[in-house]
Amino acid sequence: MVFGRSSGYLTLEVIHVQGPVRKRGEVAHITLNRPEVMNAIDLETHQLLRQTWADFRDDSTLRAAIITGAGDEAFCGGADLKTHVPQWLGVPGMHPMGARGKVRDGLGGLTRGMHRIYKPVIAAVNGWALAGGFETALAADIRIASENARFGSFEVRRGFHHADGGVVRLVNTCGVGFASETLLTGEPVDAQRALTANLVSKVVPHGRLLDAAEEMMATILRNDQTALESAKETLFDVIGRPLDEQLAVEAWYGYALMGNEKIPDRLRSFYDKSDKGRAGKNATSL
């Protein structure tokens, strides 16, 4: 396992999140650790990330992940163009058919190829999320932004555009209007604009970013893992379908959960008003 070790490019730590307490256990904290280049993803980091997401997916002791960037400047500056672009420009033997192989291999894995991981993933966006870094943040289920966070799709300035899910996920998350403005102008989006566009779930003071991510993760981890993963799979599978198909997929996946063996115990605590994180007059802690 790579978890709990530092590769130099990635720092990985397994933490159990329960309120303000950080214990080793259920949550993988993944930190892009190349602050000298805005945590850009070179070819080596790309392979390390792919392996990390595969290990996370396959480790039954891990329930969720939080990904962030090292330092205060950047979440991720995207692909390290000095290592990625030469694969495509001016390299003998490289031709457009090579793109067919890339279809199975998105930047860092989570953007494409490893995207069908149904465990929850939160992106704690601590600074600039640019290009492939923007795509990596979009590939997470939930984004929480520092007040210093900035998002940018500047590729059109360089002669290309997103190819690792940035266009698709921006449209699915924020709608065509916001996506069109962001992609076609090549102008940055600050944290508050991102919040109004539903690009991020909340904006918090910079120093509270990881605490806020862990607090939200605690609310996620009170829930049944089978139900969480089925809900995420349902979200993936209804996108882009006609309404009747969406409703059928939701019903199929939702009613299939009635065989979950943990339901009786969870219902009992609900009836007893003792389940975690209740609000109102019967409030309980997480």
- The pLDDT, as a whole number, for residue 24 is 46
pLDDT at 107: 87
pLDDT value, residue 12: 67
From 8-12, 43-47, 174-178, 218-222, the region with the lowest mean pLDDT: 8-12
Average pLDDT over residues 264-270: 89
Question: Are the C-beta atoms of residues 78 and 106 closer than 8 Å to each other?
Answer: no
pLDDT of residue 5 exceeding 50, the answer is: no
Tens of pLDDT along 97-143? 555 666 677 888 999 989 999 999 999 999 999 999 999 999 999 99
**What backbone phi and psi angles, to 5 degrees, belong to 130?**
-115, 140
List, in order, residues 6 or more apart from 182 with CB less than 8 Å away.
151, 153, 170, 174, 189
* pLDDT of 159: 82
Query: Phi/psi at 228 (nearest 5 deg)?
Result: -60, -50
pLDDT digits (tens, 9 = 90+) for 149-206: 999 998 888 787 888 888 999 999 999 999 999 999 999 999 999 999 999 999 999 9
Has residue 3 got a pLDDT over 60?
Answer: no
pLDDT confidence band for 286 (50 / 70 / 90): confident
Q: Residue 104's pLDDT is what?
A: 72
The mean pLDDT of the chain is 86
Roughly what angle, to the nearest 10 degrees, separates helices 166-174 and 132-139?
50
CB 284 within 8 A of CB 278: yes
Residues classed as catalytic: 135, 155
Q: What is the pLDDT of residue 10?
A: 63
Per-residue pLDDT tens digits for 16-54: 444 333 334 789 999 998 899 999 998 888 888 998 899
Residue 280 has pLDDT above 80, yes or no: yes
Whole-angstrom Cα distance, residue 169 to residue 79? 18
Tokens of 98: 């090579």
pLDDT value at position 19? 39
Beta bridge partners of 12: 30
The CA distance from 113 to 116, in Å, is 7
